[in-house]
Amino acid sequence: MSTSTTSSANQIASAVATLRKNFLTGVTKSYEWRLEQLNQLKKLLKDNTHRFEDALHQDLRQARLLKMVEVYNPILECEDAIANLKDWMKPEHTVVRSISNQPAKAYTIREPLGTILMISPWNYPISLVVKPLVGAIAAGNNVIIKPSEVAPACSRLFAELVPLYMDENNVKVIEGAVEETTQLLKQRFDHIMYTGNTAVGKIVMRAASEHLTPVTLELGGKSPVIITKKANIDLAAKRITWAKFTNLGQTCVAPDYALIDSSVKSEFLDRMNHYVKEFYGSDVQKSPDYSRIINERHCDRIQGLLNGHGGKVVMGGDVDKSDRYVAPTIVIDPSKDSKLMQEEIFGPVLPVLTINNLDEAIEYINDNEKPLALYLFSSDSGEKNKVVKETSSGALSINDLVLHVHVSELPFGGVGHSGMGAYNSKRTFDTFSHEKPVLEKATWLDPYIRYPPYNDTKIKLLKASYMNLSLDNLFFKYIPLTILLTGAIVFSYVALLSGKF
């Protein structure tokens, strides 16, 4: 089922209630259902690759590489979950180390949370719908997807295709804008995932608190890149040019501003100018590899950031709202109080602040909110260790940018104002699961020592029984002591069964 942008509050409430009721049937918990839905999601993407690429072109005029990655990476995410689903669903057994809990066995199981709401962004309107959806389905939940209305072609395509390929009783798409999102947030969910800006993230969190609903928030913010005098300046300029202007900076982990040592600033700016021309040609606006701003409103927003910043524009600065084009732009030493330095840019504008040493850069970063990503270019191990130890960020990447997001073994998420919670591959499955502990005690032994009335002897024995069995320290290093202690405890337990103590 999908609903249009005219969905009423009653329709939305009914859709959520239906999903919550359907979850209670237990259908989504089975391995077979999860596997089938993951395979169908993969088929949806593969069957309609060209349609998704066309939608991406309509919404963002994305370059060929970006369009390929936007569809191909979610397919890989599906394949990863399909290949590992059985292992992810297996109980995880643990050793019961406290003597007082013996004999027993303990394990944890991952059970689905229930009905999930996913509010997705417009900057990567395919992958940032599918990647969390894969984890939620793999974990056995049912889901309401709210694609971004700011990317209408991609939103419409999901609304059309999801009911054709997937279990429409448990996976629904609801389109709409602020009104529909507001109505969705009034409903009770078992988890909400929101990807977007901090202001809306606060609204989502307040709404979730009404039902004590846990949230995962991926919020972005101002991600800095530090370039020290010990960096490979040419490589830094090349990789920063690529990361900043890919998708026109409309990437949550794009470098938002640069902090560069004064001794290498001129060389860095020269090399960035060189790589902009190498990547996009002398007329960037005509390059097939240079995307567009999502809409005219965001063009106006970026134009506003370029007014009154107090710095010097040394490259670009042009805005063509009719073409949704903003040129690759560098601004040297803008005022730290300007909007350009206070708001997330989310566009192809790179402020460059001059620093005299690494300590100055770290101090500036630590004086502001914790970023979603922090980047460092340096070949010095001391500088690398210093940044690792003295800063806090959602992620830290050294001598490259953005690509840490695609390392499935690493969590992706923010800290502080840049978000809460993390996901990626298995961690997405974990995010949408409850890790339930299970303790199963034997019935053939029930020591009297645990029950009242208590006397001094019982208390001493109970105290002794709380020691932990450490395989390293006892069984391998102190085997004779272990045998002695175990024999004494067993003797005491058996004696206490008669109630003589």
**Which of the residues 78, 154, 252, 299 is marked catalytic?**
252
The H or E element that residue 107 is part of is strand 104-112
**Which of the residues 77, 175, 218, 383 is marked catalytic?**
218
Under 8 Å between Cβ of 352 and 202: no
**Which is nearest to 449 in space by CA: 104, 99, 96?**
99
**Which is nearest to 124 in space by CA: 33, 45, 55, 217?**
55
Separate counts of helices (H) and strands (E) for the chain: 17, 21
Listed in order, strand segments (DSSP E) in 347-487 are 349-355, 374-377, 396-398, 412-413, 419-420, 422-423, 433-441
Distance CA 120, CA 373 (A): 20
Q: What is the SS3 assignment for 375?
A: strand
Alpha carbon distances (Å) from 115 to 103, 137, 142, 172, 354: 37, 10, 5, 11, 49
Alpha carbon distances (Å) from 45 to 122, 166, 285, 407: 18, 12, 30, 21
Q: Which residue has the tokens 């709404």?
A: 207
Query: For residue 471, which phi and psi values (nearest 5 degrees)?
Result: -60, -40
Distance CA 423, CA 413 (A): 7
Alpha carbon distances (Å) from 174 to 96, 144, 158, 189, 218: 46, 7, 10, 15, 21
Active site residue 252: yes
**Which is nearest to 334 in space by CA: 436, 442, 222, 251?**
222
Q: Which residues are annotated as catalytic?
A: 218, 252
